[in-house]
Amino acid sequence: MKWMEETITTTVSMLTSMGDNKSDKIDPSSPKTCESPAEAGCASCGQPIIDRYLAQVNGKQWHLTCLRCCICTSPLERHTSCFLRSGRVYCRQDYGRTYGAKCARCCRTLSSSDWIRRAKDRVYHLACFACDACRRQLSTGEEFALLDGKVLCKVHYLDGLDTGSASSDDGDDLRGNSKSKRVRTTFTEEQMAVLQANFVLDSNPDGQDLERIGNLTGLSKRVTQVWFQNMRARHKKHLTNKPHSRQRGSSITSVVEPPTLRMDQPDMHSPGFSSHIYYDSYNQPSTPMETSQASEDMLQVTRMGMS
C-alpha cells in the first residue's frame, strides 16, 4: 500500500475581534464576519480554538499545545509533518519505532540508511545475517538455508542433514522401516575444480587431507569423503569398461583421466534450502520502514486574523 505523509500547516483563523485589539487571544463572544474553521473545536480536547494560531492536519484543527505525539508527548507545532494512525498522532521517530520493519535477529528497527539482507520474507541488518551455528557472516551469492527461523550456512545445513539421516536410519532399522531419502548435494564450479585437482594428486586421501580439502571448498569432511568414494567408484568402473592400453615392449600404462562429473542442478525440493541471498538497501531514504498502511499528514499552523 502507498504510504502517505500529511502536512502540518500553519494558517490564519477567520475569527475576528472587536476594535483594533491585537492580543493573542480572541473573545469567543465577539462578532464573527465569517464562519471559522476552528468552530468545530480542537480534534484533541474538543474545546473551541480561540488562539491566534492553530494547527491543521488532514482537514482537522488542533490547539498548538494539543498537537503532540501520543508516545513521547513532544509538541509538533515546529514539525513539518506527523503520522496519523487509528486517530492517534505520532512523530516520525516514534512511528518508525512502533510500526517500522525490524531486523529478524536483533529486533531493532531498520532505518532508511541501513544496508540489509533479505531471506524470503525476513529482513536482517547486514551484520546480523550470520549462520546460527558458526556465527559466520554470510556473503553475497553464498548459499544458505532458513530452517525454523534459523539461518544456516551450507556446511552446517548439510551437516544437519547427515546427522538427521543417520538418526533416521538407525530408527528405521529398529522399526524395520525403509531408510529416508537423502538430499542430493550440489557443488559449485570452484568446488569441483578443487576436488578434481586433489583427486588427480591422490584419489584416496587420509583424514587430515580430507579436512584440508573440506576447508578449501567450504564442504564438510563427511561430504568431501563421500565425494572421493563416489569418484573412485566411477573411476574404477571407467577403467573396467575401457581396459588400459599398453604400448608393445613397454610397461608404461596409459593414464586414464578421471571422468568429469556433471554438476547437479539445485534440488528445489530440499527442505528450507535457498540458492541465493540478496544485498541491497531501502529505496525510501527519508522514511522509516512500515508494516502496514498509515498516513503522515503535513502540519499547518493557522494565524488568527484580526480585522
Give the range among 30-34, 65-69, 81-85 with minimum mean pLDDT.
30-34
> Concatenated DSSP letters for the chain?
-PPEEEEEEEEE-----STT---SB--TTS--SS--GGGG--TTT-----BSEEEEETTEEE-TTT-B-TTT--B-TT-SEEEEETTEEE-HHHHHHHHS-B-TTT-PBPPTT-EEEEETTEEEETTT-B-TTT-PBPPTT--EEEETTEEEEHHHHHHHHHHHHHHHHHHHHHHTPPPPPPPPP---HHHHHHHHHHHHH-SS--HHHHHHHHHHHT--HHHHHHHHHHHHHHHHHHHHHSPPPB-TT--PBPPPPPPPPPPPPP-TTSTTEES--EEEE-S-TTS---SS--EEEEEEEEE----
The answer to whether residue 38 is domain-embedded is: yes
Q: Which domain holds residue 63?
A: 1-100+290-307
CB 165 within 8 A of CB 173: no
Q: What CA–CA distance (Å, rounded) separates 262 from 175?
A: 37
Q: What CA–CA distance (Å, rounded) separates 146 from 156?
A: 11
CA atoms 64, 65, 69, 72: torsion sign: positive
CB hemisphere CA count around 107 (13 angstroms): 1
Which residue, among 171, 145, 173, 142, has the nearest Cα to 157 in the 3D structure? 145
The answer to whether residue 227 is domain-embedded is: no
Grid cell at residue 117: 539482507
The answer to whether residue 59 is domain-embedded is: yes
Write the pLDDT tens digit of every residue in 47-77: 888 888 888 888 888 888 899 999 998 888 8
Domain count for the chain = 1
The answer to whether residue 163 is domain-embedded is: no
- Amino acid (one-letter) located at 15: L
Write the pLDDT tens digit of every residue in 99-110: 878 888 888 888
The answer to whether residue 200 is domain-embedded is: no
Q: Is the pLDDT of residue 177 over 60?
A: no
Between these two residues, 38 and 196, which has the higher pLDDT value? Answer: 196
The answer to whether residue 259 is domain-embedded is: no
| Domain CATH number, residue 9 | 2.10.110.10
Strand order in the sheet with 144-147: 150-153, 144-147, 273-274
Could you tell me the pLDDT band of residue 210, with boundaries at 50, 70 and 90? very high
| Whole-number pLDDT of residue 134 | 87
Q: What CA–CA distance (Å, rounded) separates 138 from 116?
A: 12
| Whole-number pLDDT of residue 185 | 67
CB 77 within 8 A of CB 64: yes
- How, if at all, do strands 4-12 and 295-303 pair? parallel
Claim: this prediction has a pTM higher than 0.75: no
CB 187 within 8 A of CB 216: no
Between these two residues, 13 and 299, which has the higher pLDDT value? Answer: 299
Q: What CA–CA distance (Å, rounded) separates 303 from 15?
A: 10
Mean pLDDT of 69-91: 87
The answer to whether residue 110 is domain-embedded is: no
The answer to whether residue 7 is domain-embedded is: yes
